Amino acid sequence: MSENFPLISVLMPAYNSEKYIAEAIQSILNQTYQNFEFHIINDGSSDGTAGVIDSFNDPRIVKSHEPKNRGLVATRNALIGRARGKYIAYLDNDDIAFPDRLEKQLAFLEADKADLCSGAYQTFNMETGKRRNSKERYTDSDIKALISVYCPLCNPAVMGRTEIFKKFPYKSGNDHAEDYSLWQEIALAGYRLANLKDQLITYRIHPKQISRLQSANATVIFDRCRGNYVQGLGIDAALCPRKMPFVERVMLGSRFLFELNQKIKKISFLANYQIYSRFQYRGNGVWTPLTRLERLLFCAIATVIGKY
């Protein structure tokens, strides 16, 4: 593509992140792949975020400062509206992209292996200093199956075709779970999803993180979105994975798993194992070996069903 139309549009919403945003911005500017535009919207920050953003003079950065906070959904949609590239890549204002992140995702998408991809990542707990590697499922089938219980795509590591994001804007009312509901909508529309096995970003965990501050609100929205997704697959929402007593989960949990594997083919055994665990209680004491055997049995049967 020409210089006027870079291949990738990197999008970063910013709010009260003066402590971390400089490192986030620099991690994009240091990418091994350089044909990108970089849109940043400062969403009415009350700290020094605006000054940090303005300290960068790279011509690829397109800055915007909103006088009032509009919220994450409105800001993400505004960023999408400004994107001119073939692909959109996200990075949040407190995370750090690995230097070859854009290069690896671009190669994957240009090879037509998926329409949208995220990848493995490293978490960095700012309170404890501990770093952990994520554990992902990588295939389209596994990701679409796991969306029934949690969000298997790391939002700030996502990159996908711009046309998809323009077709499916973030929806108000899903704040704090806006990415989860979006992946559900895109999955139900039939687009191909994937996770790269390579680590793409460092994901910070810190006390002022929006996802932690709004965890109670997010839980309510997540539960509603799960029900909508399961119904969208053609499965009774009453079967949504949740902790159940033994007899109930043998009847309903197994039914959900079998129906899911008929709707989505080639779900791996490990993905089925993760899903069925959501029906079981933790800390079963002496019953633990039996609950594991129960899980192994139903997941093995469901995985076989999904192959045909």
Q: How far apart are CA 124 and CA 99, in angstroms?
A: 17
Per CATH, the number for 8-216 is 3.90.550.10
Q: How far apart are CA 22 and CA 17, in angstroms?
A: 9
According to DSSP, the residues that pair with 43 across neighbouring strands are 66
CA distances from 92 to 23, 107, 175, 260 (A): 11, 22, 15, 33
pTM > 0.75: yes or no: yes
Q: What is the pLDDT of residue 2?
A: 47
Q: What is the pLDDT of residue 19?
A: 95
Domain ranges in the chain are: 8-216, 239-305
Q: List the pLDDT tens digit at each of the 308 positions of the chain.
A: 445 678 999 999 999 999 999 999 999 999 999 999 999 999 999 999 999 999 999 999 999 999 999 999 999 999 999 999 999 999 999 999 999 999 999 999 999 999 999 999 999 898 888 999 998 999 999 999 999 999 999 999 999 999 999 999 999 888 788 999 999 999 999 999 999 999 999 999 977 655 544 566 788 889 999 999 999 999 999 999 999 999 999 999 999 999 999 999 999 999 999 999 999 998 877 788 999 999 999 999 999 988 87
For residues 139 and 187, the answer to whether their CB atoms sit within 8 Å is no
Half-sphere exposure of 121 (CA within 13 A, CB side): 23
For residues 12 and 89, the answer to whether their CB atoms sit within 8 Å is no
Q: What is the dihedral of CA 54, 58, 64, 68, to 10 degrees?
A: -30
According to DSSP, the residues that pair with 61 across neighbouring strands are 38
For residues 134 and 123, the answer to whether their CB atoms sit within 8 Å is yes
Q: How far apart are CA 42 and CA 63, in angstroms?
A: 8
Q: What is the pLDDT of residue 211?
A: 52
Residue type, 287: W
Q: How far apart are CA 70 and CA 92, in angstroms?
A: 16
